Amino acid sequence: MFVMATWGLNIVSIKYLTQHMDIQALAAVRIVIAFITVTLIIKARRGRIPKLGRVQLGWVALAGFLVVYAHQVALVSGLRFSSAANGTLIMATSPLLSALLAALFYREKLTLVRISGALLGLLGVGMVVAGSGAQFGLTGWGDAIVFVAVLVFVFGGLVIQRMSRSMDPLGMLWYMYLAGGLMLVVHAAITPSSYQTDTWQMTGWPWIVLLFSAVIASGVSNIIWNAGIARLGISRAALFVNWLPIFGLLFASLFLDEHVTLTHVMGLACVLGGTYLGLRRSAPVASQPGDVR
C-alpha cells in the first residue's frame, strides 16, 4: 500500500515537473538518480553488486526494456493523445491482464473469486474517474498506446516473477535500471527537445520534487514492488494497482485543489473489496522452477 501511495503522489509530482523539464529528459534523469539510489542501498546492505550469468542478464535486460523503458515511453506518448479518464481506466485493467497472463504462463489458478475481485476493483476505479468529472471523449491511437504501456508493464511483471526464483529484488532492480536507464538516456540524447535550456535551469523546489520522484517513488518503492511480486506473484500483486488512481486523486485534491466526493468514497469501498477478494488465498497449484510456456 505504501508503494501505491507513493506512486499516486508521484503522478502529481511528474505532472508538476513536466512544466519545468522536457518529458524525455525528465524520464532519463529520474531513472539515472533511481539507479544511483539502488546502488547505494545495495552497497549499504551487502557492499557488492551480484554477478549474473548470460541467461540472467538476458532476462533482466528484457525486464528493463519492458518495465523501465517501454512502459515509460508508451505511457507518456499515449497520454498526450488520450484523456486522463480513459488512460486511468485502461491502466486499471492491469490486474485482469496479470491474472490472465499468470494463468497462461505460470499455471496460476484463475478462480471466480479472483476475477470478481479484479472486476470489483475496476468498477471502483471507474466510479472514481466518473466522480472526478473527467470526460470520456478522446479515443483512438492514444488509448491504444496507453494499453500497450499497461501490457508491457504486465509482461515485465511476469519476467520479474520468473527472475525472482533465482535473484533478490535489489539485484533485479539494479540491473533493470541499468538496462532501461541506458535506453532512456539514449532516447533523450537523440531527442532535440532534451537540449532546451529551460530543462536544465530549474530552481530549487522542482529539483527537490525530482529527487522525491526518483529516490522514493522510483527507487525505494520499486524495490518493495519487486519484493511483493516475488512473494505474491504478479496476478495478486497487481491488484494493488487499483489503488494508484485512488491515491492519485486524493493527492491531487490536496495539491491541485480538486474535490473528493461521495462517488470517490464509494469507489474506494469497491477497491477495498476487490483487493480483499483478489488476495484471498486459494488452494496452491504445483509448479516447477523455470516453468514458462
Query: How far is C-alpha 148 from the geometric centre of its chain's CA atoms?
Result: 13
Q: Which of 118, 120, 126, 127 is nearest to 95 (CA)?
A: 118
Write the CA distances from 274 to 230, 243, 282, integer angstroms: 21, 10, 15
**Using an 8 Å Cβ cutoff, are 86 and 229 in contact?**
no
pLDDT at 144 over 80: no
Q: Which of 76, 79, 95 is nearest to 87 (CA)?
A: 79
Phi-psi region for residue 137, left (φ > 0), alpha (ψ -120 to 50) or beta? alpha
What pLDDT was estimated at residue 36? Answer: 92
DSSP classification of residue 134: -
| pLDDT tens, position by position, 196-230 | 766 677 778 888 989 998 899 888 887 887 777 77
pLDDT at 290 over 50: no
pTM of the model: 0.72
pLDDT at 84 over 60: no
Contacts (Cβ under 8 Å, ≥6 apart) of 95: 117, 118, 121, 122, 235, 238, 239, 241, 242, 278
Alpha carbon distance 269, 75 (integer Å): 27
| Angle, CA of 79, 11 and 33, to the nearest 5° | 105
Structure confidence at residue 92 as a pLDDT band (50, 70, 90): low
Which residue stretches of the chain are H helix? 2-17, 23-45, 54-63, 71-79, 84-91, 94-106, 112-131, 141-163, 169-189, 204-211, 221-232, 234-237, 243-255, 262-279
Which segment, 2-11, 93-102, 104-113, 259-268, is predicted with the most confidence on average? 2-11
**Using an 8 Å Cβ cutoff, are 282 and 109 in contact?**
yes
Grid cell locating 247: 491515491
| pLDDT tens, position by position, 228-270 | 777 777 667 766 776 777 777 677 677 766 566 677 677 767 7
Structure confidence at residue 291 as a pLDDT band (50, 70, 90): very low
Q: Is 16 exposed, middle or buried (0-12, 13-18, 19+ CB in 10 A)?
A: middle
Domain-by-domain residue ranges, the chain?
1-196+205-279
Q: Which of 200, 201, 198, 182 is nearest to 190 (CA)?
A: 182
